[in-house]
């Protein structure tokens, strides 16, 4: 075979190898985009918070994907109508107590949310784990939960103003409503109040 034939075969082999590498890179990029889109849709504002906190999109996405896997292993159950009503009544009692004892009511709200989580099947031993688990099912309210719990902890260690306590209470209420929502009402907890 003449030299130019060997050169042509070599050039074609290089072109084929470059095409294969480009296809592999494109496939990985598409999978990465699909994963990112899934996580952004699933976690909403929690996605942005986690990426900002990690300062590395890939590490943050690994964290969120790990949360999903942990959550899938949990046996989260819906509350019975009787349990929902019992908890609603407890909330009304706590809410009424806020007028005379905001500090005590914030603590009671924290405990009530934890009780609901426990009954639904969420692990409740560690706050960070609770927040991570809740972020999978309730990504739009988990930041409220973190803020409320932060105020609750601050009030245990010192004086917190009534406005901060009211804010914590409102945040707890948002998560409480989401936790009590029937599974088909997850995205609209106000409907579940009826």
- Provide DSSP, 111-140: HHHHHHHHHHT---S-HHHHHHHHHHH-TT
Q: What pTM was computed for the model?
A: 0.75
Asked if 127 and 151 sit in the same domain, the reply is: yes
Q: Which residue has the tokens 């719990």?
A: 149
Asked if 56 and 145 sit in the same domain, the reply is: no
Asked if 117 and 176 sit in the same domain, the reply is: yes
The pLDDT tens digits of the residues spanning 71-108 come to: 999 999 999 999 999 999 999 999 999 999 999 999 99
Which residues contact residue 119 at a Cβ distance below 8 angstroms, ignoring those fewer than 6 apart? 79, 83
Asked if 97 and 54 sit in the same domain, the reply is: no
Task: Tell me, rounded to whole angstroms, the distance of Cα 11 from its chain centroid.
Answer: 52
Note the pLDDT of residue 176.
96
Task: Give the integer Cα–Cα distance in Å for 133 and 15.
Answer: 48
Asked if 22 and 87 sit in the same domain, the reply is: no
* Domain-ending residue, one of 54, 73, 92: 73
Asked if 118 and 161 sit in the same domain, the reply is: yes
The pLDDT tens digits of the residues spanning 133-191 come to: 999 999 989 999 999 999 999 998 888 899 999 999 999 999 999 999 865 444 333 33
Asked if 52 and 133 sit in the same domain, the reply is: no
| 159, two tokens | 């004086």
Asked if 57 and 135 sit in the same domain, the reply is: no
- Taking CA atoms, 63 is separated from 31, 50, 54, 56, 140, in Å, by 17, 8, 9, 11, 17
Task: Give the integer Cα–Cα distance in Å for 167 and 144.
Answer: 9
Asked if 92 and 55 sit in the same domain, the reply is: no
Asked if 66 and 85 sit in the same domain, the reply is: no
The pLDDT tens digits of the residues spanning 17-75 come to: 777 777 777 667 667 678 888 999 999 999 999 999 998 888 999 999 999 999 999 99
Asked if 107 and 88 sit in the same domain, the reply is: yes
* Domain-ending residue, one of 33, 51, 73: 73
Q: How many domains does one find in the chain?
A: 2
Task: Give the integer Cα–Cα distance in Å for 69 and 72.
Answer: 5
Asked if 128 and 68 sit in the same domain, the reply is: no
Domain that holds residue 144: 81-192
């Amino acid at each position: 075979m003449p030299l130019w034939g060997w050169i042509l075969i070599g050039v074609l082999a290089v072109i084929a190898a470059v095409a294969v590498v480009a296809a592999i890179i494109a496939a990985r990029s598409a999978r990465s985009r699909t994963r990112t889109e899934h996580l952004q849709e699933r976690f909403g504002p929690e996605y942005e918070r986690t990426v900002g906190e990690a300062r590395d999109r890939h590490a943050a996405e690994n964290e969120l994907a790990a949360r999903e896997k942990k959550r899938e292993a949990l046996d989260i159950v819906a509350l019975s109508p009787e349990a929902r009503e019992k908890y609603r009544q407890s909330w009304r009692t706590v809410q009424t107590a806020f007028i005379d004892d905001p500090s005590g009511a914030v603590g009671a709200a924290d405990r009530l949310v934890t009780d609901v989580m426990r009954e639904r099947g969420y692990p409740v031993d560690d706050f960070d784990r609770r927040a991570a688990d809740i972020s999978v099912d309730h990504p739009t309210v988990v930041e409220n939960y973190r803020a409320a719990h932060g105020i609750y902890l601050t009030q245990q260690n010192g004086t917190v103003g009534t406005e901060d306590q009211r804010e914590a209470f409102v945040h707890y209420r948002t998560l409480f409503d989401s936790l009590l929502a029937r599974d088909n009402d997850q995205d609209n907890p106000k409907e579940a109040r009826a």
